Structures are given as C-alpha cells and as structure tokens.
Amino acid sequence: MPDAIKALVLPFLFLLIGILASTQASNIPTVWLQTFPVVVAAVFIVLLGLSWRFNKGRLILVVFALSYPALMLEVFPNLEASSFVTVALLVLFITSLVKEKGFANRFSFNRLLFIGMLVLWNVAEVKGWISFEKLDQFVLPMLDKTLKSTVLVVIEVAAIGVILIRALSFNDRFLASVLASSVALVVMHYLPLTMNQMLLILVTQGGLWAWFLLSESHRMAYRDELTGLASRRALNEDFMALPKHYAIAMVDVDHFKKFNDTYGHDMGDEVLRRVAKILAEGCYYGSVYRYGGEEFSILYRGKKVAEAQDELESIRSWIEEEKIEVIHRDSKKYVSVTASFGLAVGSDQNEGFETLKKADESLYQAKRKGRNRLIIHGVRGKSATK
Ligand SMILES: Nc1nc2c(ncn2[C@@H]2O[C@H](COP(=O)(O)OP(=O)(O)OP(=O)(O)O)[C@@H](O)[C@H]2O)c(=O)[nH]1
C-alpha cells in the first residue's frame, strides 16, 4: 500500500469510530449526555495546552475549526449550520497550506487576525447585516439554488479536493489528519445530527489530534529529521533488548569534510540522504540508524557475520557507484562518494555499547588502511576487495 494511503488509515479510523459512536448517541444515558459539552471543551483545552507545549501553532487553527460550528450553533441556535461549517472548512483549508511556524509568535497572531475577520464576516452574514439576496434573481433561474448555497458548496468541494490532493502528494500525517477532520465537518453538516451526536464526533476528533501530537513527539525523538532513519536514541533503546546473537556495523562517509567544503553543506546533506537511502534499501537483514553527523549504525539481530558481511559489501559498492549531480564553479557535474565500514559481533547481550565501540575501532582501521572498505573486528585480513 502506498505510504500516502497508509497515512490516511488511522485518521479515517478515528472518523469512522466517531460516526459509529454518534449512531449510538440515543442509547447513552441522559446523565452522561449532559457531560458531553464539558468533555469536548476539556479535550480541546488539553489539545491547546499540548499544542503550546509541543510548539505547534497550526493545531490552534484545527481546534478552532473543529469547535467553531458547534460554538456558533450554541450562540445562534435558530440558524442553519452551513455557513459555520464552510468557515471552519476554510480555516482547515488555510491550515493545510501554511507551514508550521510555532505556537506564539507574529505568524500565529496574523493567522488569528485573519480568522477573526472571517468570523466577523460570517456573523455579519448570518445576522443579515450583509446580504447577497439581490443577486439571487440572476442565479436562481440558472442553478435552481441561491447564490449563498452555491458558493458554500463550491468552497466545500474545492477545500476538500485541494486538501485530498495535497495529502496524497505529500504523504504528510498532518495533512491526512486535516483531511479526516474536514470530512468530519462535512458529515456534521450534511447528516441530520443532533448536538450530542456532533459532540461525539468532536470528542473522537480530539482523540485523533491528541494521537497526532503524541506520534509527532515520538517521531521527533526516535527519527532523524534529515535522513528519516531511526535516530541514535532509538539505537540506545534497542541496545536494552539485544538478542543472544547480534552484530553491529558502523559506517562513515569518507572525506566528508572535504566534500562539504568543496560543494557546500546543502550538497553534503543531499549525500547523507542518498547514503541513508542506499543503507535503508540495501539492508535486508539489519536495522539502520543515523548515529550522528556522517556516521550510521546497523544492528544485525541473530544473524551470522557472513550474512552481514555480504550485505555490507554490496552496500559499500552501491554507495561507490551512486552518481550525485553537483553544481561546481557554475557548471554541472557528477561526483560520487565512498564509505568505510567496521563490523563487530556481540558476545554478550548486555554489551551493545562495547560491541559498537569495537565496530568503531574497525571502522577507523578501515580509514587508516585507505577507506572504502569493510574491516571485521578480530578477523585478520578480512576487508573489502579493492
Ligand atoms: N552537510 C552536513 N555535514 C555534516 C553533518 N554532520 C556532520 N557534518 C560534517 O561532517 C564532517 C565530518 O568530518 P570529519 O569527521 O573530519 O571526517 P571526514 O572529513 O569524513 O574524514 P574521514 O572520516 O577521515 O574520511 C564535518 O565537516 C561536519 O561538519 C550534516 O548533518 N550535514
């Protein structure tokens, strides 16, 4: 299954649970039902607290968008929800377009100001202070719909369409969750739901965003941002539960400082991404981590050294063969890098760090012997064919 579709599974599962729960609202005892508004308010306040703690400004907009229709229906109970939902969808749409800029800064202020204007326009419209009814004489005969209802449907369809396209093209979990929340708003608009049913959907949407924040913080802790590989922290944790038989490899890009100095830091980053990709795709038996800087680690659980050795030799030659396009002195050319490898076999489940040190020693031996080779700790004369 493509990653972009996978990213949609959980957000839509939350949505489905919300819709299914709302169908059971009539079976819920009244005492519980009375607590729903408080529960929803509490969930959203906790979300706002978390978005402040995790410095995620876009989440304020999401919380606002989700709570807006229900809040407005509380204030104007006799009015139709359609324009409230459309404003909420517009806010989600804008949120899906902007970059994360943190919680409290001028960006958040500007965004909230814009939303304030949108709300003012919405209130003015529902109160009848501004009206487009005169234009209906032209629109009604053509579309059999008022101008307002036509514009609202167009905005809803366009907003959902653009969010869907972006979620599928960027494979981004934030966009996937925004899409599920947008569909939740549309469901609340078009299905004849009671306020309690809406609140049930909102609670599950709160759950979705809490899950999003938790998984984001997990990703930040255990994934390396540049390469997308597991981070050193993940390796440290994996060392706590090593199997009886294991091996560790350390990999280091050769002359990387020179590469950075010649082609620039951005090209250096590109090299690290390429090497990480080759390691991730080439490692069938091992798990790859970015250890730090231009160093990577591979953990082989329960595997024989020969299997690890064969795999590392293939990866070494793939790195060597990879052609990287660089611009140097205003002209385009293709360059390649090499990497050195050290491998050590663990002899004790509790000695992951010691084994890693041995792999590191072998790696530096490989560097001393001329680089672009694999040295196995404690095995004389074992190195890559050169
Ligand atoms: N572009 C980029 N450079 C990095 C990153 N992390 C570390 N570096 C650079 O990696 C270089 C590592 O250089 P050295 O440790 O001297 O090693 P080397 O030049 O690869 O030489 P050998 O290991 O002896 O082959 C330093 O210049 C760091 O600034 C990163 O994330 N991106």
Residue 161 domain boundaries: 3-219
Domain boundary among 189, 219, 249: 219
Closest CA to 296 of 317, 274, 327, 318: 274
Q: Are 298 and 279 in contact (CB under 8 A)?
A: yes
Q: Specify whether 75 is located in the same domain as 142.
A: yes
What does the pLDDT read at residue 139? Answer: 64
Residues 251 and 370 occupy one common structural domain: yes
Q: Which of 192, 219, 246 is the last residue before a domain boundary?
A: 219
Q: Within a domain: residue 150? A: yes
Rounded Cα gap, residues 301 and 206, in angstroms: 39
Do 297 and 184 sit in the same domain of this protein? no
Could you tell me the strand order of the sheet in which 246-253 lies?
A: 286-292, 295-301, 246-253, 339-346, 374-376
Cβ of residue 272 lying under 6 Å from some atom of ligand 1: yes
Ligand 1 centroid, distance to 283 Cα (angstroms):
23
Please work out whether the CB of residue 255 comes within 6 Å of at least one atom of ligand 1. yes
Residue 384 pLDDT = 47
Nearest CA owner, ligand 1 atom 23: 254
Instruction: Read off the tokens for 381.
Output: 């004369």
The mean pLDDT values, 10 residues at a time, for the chain of 386 residues are 84 95 88 88 91 87 91 80 85 91 80 87 81 68 71 87 92 93 91 87 93 90 94 95 93 96 94 97 94 96 85 96 88 93 91 95 97 89 49
Atom of ligand 1 nearest to the CA of 266: 1
Q: Residues 147, 277: one domain?
A: no
Instruction: Assess whether 17 and 157 both reside in one domain.
Output: yes
Mutate-to-test residue for ligand 1 from 260, 267, 269, 273, highest number of ligand atoms within 8 A of CB: 260
Q: Are residues 179 and 265 in the same domain?
A: no
Give the active site residues: 294
Q: Is residue 54 part of a domain?
A: yes
Residue 202 has φ and ψ, to the nearest 5°, of -65, -35
Q: How far apart are CA 91 and CA 199, in angstroms?
A: 19
Distance 338 CA to ligand 1 centre (A): 13
Total of domains in the chain: 2
Assigned domain for 381 exists = no
CATH number of the domain at 331, please: 3.30.70.270
Mutual orientation of helices 3-23 and 195-222 as an angle, nearest 10°? 150
Question: Does residue 292 fall inside a structural domain?
Answer: yes
Helix (H) or strand (E) holding 286: strand 286-292
Are 284 and 362 in the same domain?
Answer: yes
Question: What letter would DSSP give residue 99?
Answer: P
Residue 76 lies in a domain: yes
The answer, yes or no, to whether any atom of ligand 1 lies below 6 A from the CB of 269, is yes
Mutational test site, ligand 1, from 224, 256, 270, max ligand atoms within 8 Å of CB:
256
Residue nearest to atom 31 of ligand 1 (CA): 293
* pLDDT at position 381: 54
Give yes or no: residues 38 and 74 share one domain.
Answer: yes
Domain identity same for 126 and 188: yes
Model pTM score: 0.75
Claim to verify: residue 146 and residue 10 sit in the same structural domain: yes
Decide whether any atom of ligand 1 lies within 6 Å of the 360 Cβ. Answer: no
- Provide ipTM, 2 decimals: 0.96
Is 314 among the domain residues? yes
Residues 210 and 267 in one domain: no
The CB of 293 under 6 Å from ligand 1? The reply is yes
Give me ligand 1 centre to Cα 261, in Å: 10
| 225 domain-assigned | no
Distances from the Cα of 140 to the Cαs of 12, 150, 152, 154, in angstroms? 37, 10, 15, 16
Whether 180 is covered by a domain: the verdict is yes
> 311: Cβ below 6 Å to ligand 1?
no
Of 188, 219, 250, the last residue of a domain is 219
Burial of 210 (0-12, 13-18, 19+ CB in 10 A): middle
Verify that 154 and 204 share a domain, yes or no: yes
